[in-house]
Amino acid sequence: MSTIRDVAKYANVSVATVSRVLNKKGYVSKEAEEVVLKAIEDLDYRPNAVARTLYNKSSRMIALITPDITNPYFPELARAIEDVSLSYGYTVVLCNTDDDEEKEQQYVSVLKQKYVDGIILITNQQFNSDLEQMNVPIVALDRILSEKFPAVVSENENGAMMATEHLIDCGCKFIAHLRGPIGLTSAEDRLKGFQKVVQDKGVASIVVNTDFHFEKSIEVTTRLLEDHPTIDGIFSSNDITAAGAMKAINNLGKSVPNDIQIVGFDGIPLGKMLIPSLTTIEQSIYKMGALGARLLIKQIENIHLEANLYTVPTKLLIRGTTKVKGED
C-alpha cells in the first residue's frame, strides 16, 4: 500500500498539500489539486483509516451492544442500524452481552480503547455508573436507562391498550396477560396498558410472569389454563411467548381462535408463519433502529437533540388468532 508520502513525492508536493486535497480543507491551487489527484489515481492510494483515527480520536465506528442477537427481535434492529450507519459512513461493531454486567464492562472498555464514536445500547442492567462516566455518545433502544441517555422506545402502553381492547371487542370475557420480565420498562408499560383497559372495561383478568422465552411460555400457559379453564383471551407481551401459548393451547386440545383468542406483541416475521397467523401489535422495529442510529450520529456530530425520549408508534395487526375477519 502506498502512503501519503509516496503520493506527495510522486506529485512533487508536500504531504500537507496532499492532505488538503484529500480533506478539501485549506488553500490548494487548481494545478496542485490536479497533480495530486492524478498521483492518487496512479498509485491507487487509499488513506489509512487507522492513522486518521489515531489523530482524530474518531474511528467512524459505532457499537451495538445487545443482550443476544439470537433473539429474533434484534436482527431487524441491527439491520436498520447497520443500514443507517453505512449511509453515514460508519461501521457497526456487534457486541452480545447476555445481560452480563461484566461482559458489558469488558466491551465498553475495549470499545473506548478503539475510539468508537458512539454506542447503541440495549440492556437490562440499571447501574451503568461507569457508562455515565464515559464521554461517548450513547442511545438506549427499547428501554429507558436513565435521563442521561436519549432513548427510543415503542408506544408500549398504547399498543397494549389496543391489544386488550381488541380482545374485548372480539368478545373475550376473561383475559390473561403473559407479562414480560420484571424490571424491563417495555414489559412494565405493556402491563400498565393491559391493566388500564381491563379495569376500565371491567373485564376479568389475570397476569402471569414469563421471561420472554418460548419454553417457559408453554409451561406457564399450560398451568394457567389448567387452573383457569374459562380463560378465553390472552394478551402476550411478545410474539415468542404468544407462540408458546398457542403451542400450549394446542397441546391441551383447545383451538385458537375458537376457544381462546390471542394477541401478541412485536410483529416479528414469526407471527405470519404460525397457523393461524398471529394477531399482534406491530412495532416499527426497523424504524426504531434507524431512528436510534440517526440520533446517535447526530450526537456524534454534535448536533443538539430536541428531545430525550422518542417514541415510535405501534399498530394493531389483525390476523388469524382473533375472531374479527383478518387476512387469515
Partner DNA sequence: AAACTGTGTGTAACCGGTTACACCATAAAG
Partner DNA sequence: CTTTATGGTGTAACCGGTTACACACAGTTT
Contacting residues toward its own copies, per CB under 8 A:
46-51, 53-54, 59, 61, 64, 68-70, 72, 74-76, 78-79, 82-83, 86, 91-96, 103, 109-115, 214, 240, 243-244, 246-247, 250, 269-270, 272-275, 277
Kindly give, in sequence order, each residue whose CB lies less than 8 Å from that of residue 81, ignoring residues fewer than 6 positions away: 62, 64, 92, 120, 289, 290, 292, 293
Binding of residue 134 to DNA (CB under 7 A) = no
Closer CB to its own copies, 75 or 326, in the complex: 75
Find residue 61's DSSP bridge partners.
91
Closer CB to DNA, 33 or 83, in the complex: 33
Binding of residue 59 to DNA (CB under 7 A) = no
The grid cell for 259 is 376457544
Binding of residue 29 to DNA (CB under 7 A) = yes
Residue with cell 510522486: 10
Strands (E), 122-270: 138-141, 151-154, 174-179, 204-209, 233-236, 261-266
* Closest distance of CB 52 from its own copies, Å: 9
- HSE, side-chain direction, 13 A CA sphere, residue 205: 25
* Closest distance of CB 247 from its own copies, Å: 6
When computed from its CA atoms, the radius of gyration of the chain, rounded to whole angstroms, is: 26
Binding of residue 44 to DNA (CB under 7 A) = no
Asked if residues 206 and 176 have their Cβ atoms less than 8 Å apart, the reply is: yes
Residues 101-130 that bind DNA (CB under 7 A): none
Closer CB to its own copies, 29 or 109, in the complex: 109
DSSP-assigned letter for residue 277: P
Closer CB to DNA, 31 or 306, in the complex: 31
Closer CB to its own copies, 91 or 125, in the complex: 91
H/E segment holding residue 103 = helix 101-113
Binding of residue 47 to DNA (CB under 7 A) = yes
Contact window for DNA (CB under 7 A) among 16-24, 85-93, 245-253, 304-312: 16-24
Strands (E), the chain: 61-66, 91-96, 118-121, 138-141, 151-154, 174-179, 204-209, 233-236, 261-266, 280-283, 309-312, 314-317
Closer CB to its own copies, 209 or 251, in the complex: 251
Report the partner that residue 40 touches, choosing among DNA, its own copies, none (CB closer than 5 to 8 A by kind).
Answer: none
- Residues engaged in binding DNA (CB under 7 A): 1, 3-5, 12-17, 19-20, 22-23, 25-32, 45-48, 51-52, 54-57
